[in-house]
Structure 1
């Protein structure tokens, strides 16, 4: 297993030879780290992660909720995720037209 340069818990799943894996393959991760909730798992080896941010609007003296969706590659060593799970994704090179992020950690619910 390779060190990706981020302080995270290492995945315990098996690797199936996926070259787009930051831990066992040759995919390099860089840039921003985003935490969000899995909203869709219908694609092959990819998921959609939703992040909600509250922002204060000075003019109206209220908060607004903004949502951003990211398509992310799911390596086989991370394991199965389902809708509602919290994950951490990190920026990587473009893997397809919409996928520019890779899942690096699945947060365990306590």
Structure 2
């Protein structure tokens, strides 16, 4: 609970001299704030980034039914949580902008999400 969320603390980085502390919410200086979301990893093609997809329902009054929608959110993966694969359930938290498209960071993965 070092980052203000109810997520388990990952193990310390193996190479402290080479670790990127600037973009790590657990052992570095990256503050998390705002919303937290859960979703499924759909892409791991970028370095230190995953695309998290969240599916939700929207009510359509004209047809009196629900329609499925999805949002795809790029999220930064800190070095201590490396090893995510497509299909993993993750929890992401909002943070300051890390790049043009990334404003979220992965805070829990697997069964912790």
TM-score by length of 2: 0.88
Structure 1 unaligned runs (5+)?
none
As a proportion of its length, which structure holds more helix? 2
Q: Which residue of 2 aligns with 1:21?
A: 24
For residues 29 and 15 of structure 1, do their structure 2 counterparts lie closer, same or farther at Cα, with a shift above 3 Å needed? farther
Report the aligned-residue RMSD: 1.7
Is 1:38 equivalent to 2:37 in the alignment? no
Query: Judging changes above 3 Å, is the alpha-carbon distance between structure 1 residues 41 and 13 closer, same or farther for their aligned structure 2 residues?
Result: farther
- The alignment status of 1:82 with 2:81, answered yes or no, reads no
Aligned length: 108
The Cα offsets for residues 51-78 of structure 1, whole Å up to 9 and x where unpaired, read as 0001221220111001100000000111
- Please list every run of at least 4 consecutive aligned residues from structure 1 whose deviation after the TM superposition is greater than 4 angstroms: none
- CA distance in 2 between partners of 1:107 and 1:70 (Å): 18
